[in-house]
Amino acid sequence: MMMFRELRHRTIESQPFSGGTEAVYYFHSDHLDSASWVTTATSTPTQFLLHLPYGEEFVKQQSGNCDERFTFTGEERDAETGYYYHGARFNSSDLGWLSVDPMSDKYPSISPYAYCAWNPVKLVDPEGEEFSEHIDKYGNLIAHYDDGDNSVYLHTNGATKTDIDKQRADNNNTGGNGRKIGKLGGNIDITEIMCNKLKQSVNEAIKMDIIDYYYAVKQNGVWNLKNNTNTIFDVAWSVEETLNTTFSFGNNKSMSAADIGNYHAGYTGRAAGIPNYLLWKGAGFAETIKEFKEGSTILAIGRAHLLLIPSFYPSGDRLEDFKWNTKGMIDYEARTIIKILKN
Each residue's pLDDT tens digit, 78-95: 777 777 766 666 777 676
State residue 59's pLDDT score. 76
Instruction: Return phi, psi of residue 7, to 5°.
Output: -65, 125
Asked if residue 159 lies in contact with residue 167, where contact means CB atoms within 8 angstroms, the answer is: yes
**In terms of C-beta density within 10 A (0-12 exposed, 13-18 middle, 19 or more buried), how is residue 154 classed?**
buried
More confident residue, 21 or 46: 46
- Tell me the β-bridge partners of 92: 96
Amino acid 248 reads S
Of all helices (H) and strands (E), which one includes residue 337? helix 319-342
More confident residue, 127 or 332: 332
* Average pLDDT rounded to a whole number, residues 105-112: 63
Residue spans per domain, the chain: 11-82, 188-342
β-pairing, 132-135 with 151-154?
A: parallel
Asked if residue 47 lies in contact with residue 66, where contact means CB atoms within 8 angstroms, the answer is: yes
Confidence of residue 15 (pLDDT cuts 50, 70, 90): very low
Of all helices (H) and strands (E), which one includes residue 16? strand 11-16
DSSP secondary structure of 213-233: HHHHHSTTSTT-GGG-TTBHH
Q: Which is nearest to 185 in space by CA: 65, 75, 103? A: 103
β-pairing, 57-62 with 76-77?
A: unpaired
Q: Which is nearest to 145 in space by CA: 133, 161, 135, 156? A: 133
Helices (H), 209-318: 210-217, 232-238, 257-271, 276-293, 297-308
Positive or negative, the Cα torsion across 141, 253, 179, 110? negative
pLDDT digits (tens, 9 = 90+) for 237-266: 877 666 788 999 988 889 999 999 999 999
State residue 11's pLDDT score. 41
pTM of this structure? 0.65
Asked if residue 89 lies in contact with residue 97, where contact means CB atoms within 8 angstroms, the answer is: yes
Query: What is the C-alpha end-to-end distance of the chain, expressed in Å?
Result: 51
HSE, CB side, 13 Å, CA atoms: give it for residue 38: 27
Percent of the chain with pLDDT over 70: 74
Give yes or no for residue 165 having a pLDDT over 70. yes
User: What's the rounded Cα separation, in Å, for the pair 127 and 26?
Assistant: 24
State residue 25's pLDDT score. 72
State residue 30's pLDDT score. 74
